[in-house]
Amino acid sequence: MVQRVVKPKTQRSKRYLESRESKLTENTKTAMFIRGGRTSEVVSQTLKDMYFLKKPDAVMFQKKNIMRPLEDQTSLEFLSDRNDASLFMFGSHQKKRPNNVVIGRFFDFHVLDMVELGIEKYKSMQEFHVGKFSLGSKPCLLFAGEAFENEPEYQRLKNLLIDFFRGPVIENIRLAGLEHVLLFTTLDGKIYLRNYKVQMKKSGSRTPRIELEEIGPSVDFSMRRTRLASDDLYKRARQQPKQAKPKKVKNINRDPFGSKLGRIHMEKQDLDKLQTRKMKGLKRKTSDNTDKKVEAKKVR
């Protein structure tokens, strides 16, 4: 823990501060859903649906916040600091920019990337009359479209979307629990988001046959402005701690019989000065008298 001058007085506050500070393996990123000074029905509904997808790692702001994220980032950074959230989605509606959504992320509580998307077409979750999946399941992410490979802006957007919708990083996953699929397709400056529920059907082999059923929301975005981080800041943010990397185990190999082998490296030995087992009886005697004297001294 950071050495503080004023120590936290309760265990609860101490735990909260520890969860907030930078660690080797980080917490799951929390997302903030903010409404701007003026929002339309479409925008509010989109934010609500996205909030449902991101639950429980999400915070929804009930009140409207008059701010312009692409011009002034101070209020956004303040909110991120207060809520310990490193992702955000800001929705607003203006005559100049109708049905506007800004997705972004923070690094060290300063804005890293921001992408402004316009909602062209929207179909909410309620419109698809299908049973919902369980809350908090990790979704499968699919990206399609050449722009996600070739264009740098779209590559950053892809990275941002992965970051946003990824969910917690886990080691094991229950095979039956893969229920949710998110598809992002891009063509001609438009990005299509679709959500599907996975149904596993019998196939001849162990691996099941997949059938999909569309659930909401289904959104058609158009790319508007972007405010991306500079390359060196982005590089710095992506640096992973060395301690987190698994240590390479050197010098252990197994022979075909399964026994563990290792190599010992010896320094060069001077065979004349080798220490071997001393057997006094075999020692070369100079004369009996001198030997006896030596022995007498040793006894004392």
Least distance in Å: CB of 171 to another protein?
A: 6
Least distance in Å: CB of 42 to another protein?
A: 19
Residue 44: exposed, middle, or buried by beta-carbon count in 10 A (0-12, 13-18, 19+)?
middle
- Number of residues assigned to the chain: 300
The SS3 of residue 93 is: coil
The residue within the footprint of another protein, chosen from 57, 120, 151, 214 (CB under 8 A), is 214
Q: Which of residues 58-117 bind another protein (CB under 8 A)?
A: 86, 105-108, 112
Asked if 161 and 185 touch (Cβ cutoff 8 Å), the reply is no
206 binds another protein (CB under 8 A): yes
Q: List C-alpha distances in Å: 122 to 58, 100, 111.
A: 22, 12, 28
122 binds another protein (CB under 8 A): no
Nearer to another protein among residue 54 and residue 194 (C-beta): 194
Q: How many CA atoms lie within 13 A of 218 on its CB side?
A: 11
Least distance in Å: CB of 58 to another protein?
A: 15
128 binds another protein (CB under 8 A): no
The residue within the footprint of another protein, chosen from 5, 249, 266, 271 (CB under 8 A), is 5
Q: How many CB atoms lie within 10 A of CB 167?
A: 17
Q: Which stretch binds another protein (CB under 8 A): 68-76, 180-188, 253-261, 265-273?
A: 180-188
Q: Which stretch binds another protein (CB under 8 A): 53-61, 239-247, 248-256, 270-278?
A: 239-247
230 binds another protein (CB under 8 A): no
Q: Which of residues 23-62 bind another protein (CB under 8 A)?
A: 23-24, 26-27, 29
Nearer to another protein among residue 60 and residue 237 (C-beta): 237
Q: How many CB atoms lie within 10 A of CB 253?
A: 9
Nearer to another protein among residue 33 and residue 148 (C-beta): 148
